[in-house]
Amino acid sequence: MINRILIRVKVVQTLYSHLLVEKDFALEPQPSSPTKEKRFAYALYLDLLMLMGQLASEISIRGRDTPLEETRFMRSVMADDRMRSLKMKYSAQPFPLKPALPALVEKIKESALLKNFLKHSDETANSDIDIWRDLFNVYIIKDATLQAVISRRENYTLRGIDRAAELMNATFVNFYSSNGNLSAAVRTLETSLNASRELYFRLLMLPSDLVRLRDQQLDEQRHKYITTEEDRNPNLRFVENRLVEALDQDPEINAYRSASKLSWIEQDRVTLTALMREILASDIYNEYMELPASDFHTDAEFWRNIFKKVIFRSENFLLDMEDKSVFWNDDMEIIGTFFLKTLKRFDDLYDISTGHVSQEPVLPKFKDDEDARFGSELLSYVLNNKELYRSYIDRYIDTSQWDTERLALMDVVIMMTAIAEIINFQKIPTSVSVNEYIEIAKSYSSPRNASFIHGVLGRVIADLRASGELMKE
């Protein structure tokens, strides 16, 4: 029921909300009113970061892979302007902490911390910050060679080293908070997908509750003080609709209704009553009620037409649904399609000989386990690699036409999500991914920006193929 088209939209929406409030990561600022000790501590803090960057580039796996260098934390640190300036400075003069580098490289390469990180790095969202925090506190700052090198620096004090370590640990905390909590983003995505499932079942419950409401209205008419023949003997075709009887008997719908305690007639009677008035005033209703006879197919087609031409075109109903959940603003079209498909399945699976639906027509939440994992995996890939994917985007923007700093966040999110899918989901053809995100861009951005996004993605894909990072078609 929840297909990949909807999942992609939900991931983009979740990422946009998440990144919109995300705090930018930054290194600790220089101390105000600096003393000699504070200046020593801050200079040491920057050099320790540079040392960690050099360790990351030196520690390779299988001779060429540098997993520590590719962590989100290290990419963010080395992208800071202060670190770039420091790197340029040390390209022209000796790096003061370099004597400690060889021993630390060997020590860390053989450490249980690194081996465990390499084994489990994909299993926890925060592993790339945890590894650096642990390496720094367990090995780097306690290394005897490094301590000896530091002790020879001008204005050296033990308190200065402690201050530098405090700055470093504050940086770890800052990075963690600025990148947000991946698990929280995943929970938001799950909530959004569950809301889509709820909308699907609400629609499946709606015909039954409309019939119940109409039955109550007819009963009230029968008991009026002054009644007409029509009041006493109403046309019962609507309230005796065979599709509605099948919906009422369906175990999946009944189980969801029981578990969720949802009821239109008890919780949304105003919406239900307004919708009933629109149905009663429709030509579809009047033509259906005047038929000489009906069968299950006729009853099912009636509800399909009522939803397509009355309910899904009712501005008041659609506004009411949007007000009920922030997650439903863009869901109705896709979920409505699956709802109508389900009504057709009831019709197709109805066995005229038994008078029952032969199989379960209600669609499962996901087609398969791959689809069930797709959303959370895609979201994780983007959040874990957003700096890298953003660098791909910035690399291929024509700065004469577009200012990279002023790109709309939604455009960036769409492109990063597309890149994540193209790189990490080998079974999905590249053209399919590109086309899906261009369609999302048309809905959430603009036709002009969709064309721009298409162009950037094309350049990124070409470069990834040229470098051998992208092998699929």
Q: Do 133 and 237 share a domain, yes or no?
A: no
SS3 content of the chain, % helix, strand, coil (to 5): 70, 0, 25
Of 179, 207, 224, which one is at a domain's C-terminal end? 179
Q: Is 351 helix (H, G, I), strand (E, B) or coil?
A: strand
Say how many C-beta atoms besides its own lie within 10 A of residue 262's C-beta. 16
Number of separate domains in the chain? 3
- The arithmetic mean of pLDDT across residues 25-53, rounded, is 91
**Both tokens of residue 214?**
């109409």
In tens, the pLDDT along 194-242 reads 999 999 999 999 999 999 999 999 988 888 778 787 768 888 999 999 9
Quick one: pLDDT band at residue 398, thresholds 50, 70, 90? low
The answer to whether residues 396 and 294 belong to one domain is no
d(CA 149, CA 44): 11
SS (H, E, C) 39-89: HHHHHHHHHHHHHHHHHHHHCCECCCECCCCCCHHHHHHHCCHHHHHHHHH
Above 60 in pLDDT, residue 473?
Answer: yes
Which CATH number do you get for residue 392?
A: 1.10.940.10
The residue to which tokens 């439903």 are assigned: 328
Candidates 171, 129, 184, 172; CA nearest to 18 is 184
| 3-state secondary structure (DSSP) of residue 268 | coil
Residue 456 forms part of a structural domain: yes
Q: Is 368 domain-assigned?
A: no
**Can you tell me which residue has the tokens 């640190």?**
77
- The tens digit of pLDDT for each residue in 168-184 reads 999 988 887 766 667 78
Residue 105 sits in the same domain as residue 140: yes
Answer with the one of 119, 145, 179 that is the final residue of a domain. 179
Residue 350 within a domain: yes
Nearest Cα to Cα of residue 202 among 388, 63, 331: 331
In a domain, 415, yes or no: yes
Q: Does residue 13 lie in a domain region? A: no
Is 16 a member of any domain?
A: no
Q: Are 13 and 192 in contact (CB under 8 A)?
A: yes
167 and 266 inside one domain: no
345 and 295 assigned to the same domain: yes
CA distance 362 to 352: 19
Q: Which 3 state secondary structure label does DSSP give 32?
A: coil
Angstrom distances, CA of residue 137 to CA of 19, 131, 142: 30, 10, 7
Calpha distance 420→451 (Å, rounded): 19
pLDDT(252) > 70: yes
Whether residue 469 contacts residue 423, with contact meaning beta carbons closer than 8 Å, is answered with yes
pLDDT at 62 over 70: no
Name every residue whose Cβ is closer than 8 Å to that of residue 87 and which is 6 or more positions away in sequence: 50, 53, 78
How many C-beta neighbours within 10 Å does residue 53 have? 18
Q: Which residues of 3-18 are buried (b: 16+ CB within 10 A; e: fewer)?
A: ebebbbbbbbbbbbeb
Looking at the fold, whether 45 and 143 belong to one and the same domain comes out as yes
Domain that holds residue 424: 385-466
Nearest partner of 164 among 83, 45, 43, judged by Cα:
45
Asked whether residue 222 falls in the same domain as residue 266, the answer is yes
Helix (H, G, I), strand (E, B), or coil: what is residue 170?
helix
Rounded CA separation 350/77 (Å): 63
The total of other beta-carbon atoms located within 10 Å of residue 88's CB is 9
The pLDDT tens digits for 285-340 are 999 999 999 999 999 999 999 999 999 999 999 999 988 888 887 899 999 999 99
Same domain, 190 and 127: no
> For the segment 12-33, what is each residue's pLDDT rounded down to a tens digit?
999 998 888 766 778 999 988 7
Burial-class residue 172 by CB neighbours within 10 Å (0-12, 13-18, 19+): middle
Residue 377, in any domain of the structure: no
Cα end-to-end distance, the chain, whole Å:
28
For residue range 65-101, what is the model confidence (pLDDT) as tens digits?
788 888 888 988 998 889 999 999 999 999 999 999 9
Count of CB atoms within 10 A of residue 198's CB?
19
Same structural domain, 214 and 137: no
pLDDT of residue 321: 92
**Do 199 and 289 sit in the same domain of this protein?**
yes
Tens digits of residue pLDDT in 365-388:
999 999 999 999 999 999 888 888
- Are residue 34 and residue 128 in the same domain, yes or no? yes
Q: Say what the pLDDT of residue 180 is.
A: 60
pLDDT at 446: 83
Query: Does the residue 376 lie in any domain?
Result: no
**Cα separation of 169 and 117, whole Å?**
19
Q: What is the CA radius of gyration of the chain?
A: 31
Model confidence at 123: pLDDT above 70: no
Residue holding tokens 């409309």?
A: 210
Please tell me the distance from the alpha carbon of residue 303 to that of residue 340, in angstroms, as a whole number: 9
Match 């038929």 to its residue by tokens: 291
Which of 289, 263, 269, 258 shows the shortest CA–CA distance to 213? 269
423 backbone dihedrals φ, ψ, rounded to 5°: -75, -40
What CA dihedral angle connects 76, 81, 87 and 93, to 10 degrees?
-160
Whether 281 and 407 map to the same domain: the answer is no
Q: In this model, does residue 59 exceed pLDDT 70? A: yes
Q: Which residue in 385, 370, 373 sits closest to 418, CA to CA? A: 385
Please tell me which residue, 284 or 397, carries the higher pLDDT value. Answer: 284
Closest CA relative to residue 125, chosen from 372, 371, 382: 382
Domain end position, chosen among 147, 179, 211: 179
Percentage of the chain modeled with pLDDT above 70: 94
Helices (H) and strands (E) in the chain, counts: 24, 2
Q: What average pLDDT score do residues 438-455 get?
A: 90
* List of residues 6+ apart from 439 with CB closer than 8 A: none
Yes or no: say if 284 and 394 are a contact pair by the CB < 8 Å rule.
no
